[in-house]
Amino acid sequence: MDSEGRVAVDGKRFYRAGAALTGLPPALSQLVELRASQINGCGWCVDVHSKEAAAAGESAVRLALIAAWRESTVFTEAERAALALAEEGTRLADAAQGVSDATWAAVRAHYDEEQAAALVCLVSMINAANRMGVITRMRGGSYAPGVFAALED
> Which residue type sits at 46?
V
**pLDDT tens column, 57-77:** 999 999 999 999 999 999 999
What pLDDT, on a 0 to 100 scale, did the predictor assign at position 83? Answer: 98
User: Per-residue pLDDT for 13 more than 90?
Assistant: no
Q: Which residue has the higher pLDDT, 60 or 3?
A: 60
User: Per-residue pLDDT for 5 more than 50?
Assistant: no
Q: Which domains does the chain have, with CATH numbers?
A: 13-148 (1.20.1290.10)
Mean pLDDT estimate for the chain: 87
User: Per-residue pLDDT for 2 more than 80?
Assistant: no
| Nearest partner of 69 among 150, 58, 6, 23, judged by Cα | 58
What pLDDT, on a 0 to 100 scale, did the predictor assign at position 14? Answer: 59
